[in-house]
Amino acid sequence: MFIKNYSKSGKICRVTFKCENPDSCESAILVGDFNNWSLQETPMKKLKNGSFSTTLSLKTGTSHQFLYVLDGGIWRNDEKADGHVANPFGGENSVVTV
pLDDT value of residue 97: 98
Domain boundaries, the chain: 2-97
Mean pLDDT by 10 residues, the chain (98 residues): 95 96 87 97 94 97 97 93 96 97
pLDDT value of residue 19: 94
CATH 3.10.270.10 fits 2-97, yes or no: no
Rounded distance between C-alpha atoms, residue 32 and residue 21, angstroms: 19
Q: How many beta carbons lie within 10 A of that of residue 71, not counting itself?
A: 12
pLDDT value of residue 22: 67
Contact 98, 61 (CB under 8 A): yes
Please name the amino acid found at residue 23: D
| Cβ partners under 8 Å of residue 36, min gap 6 | none
Which residue blocks in the chain are alpha helix, DSSP H? none
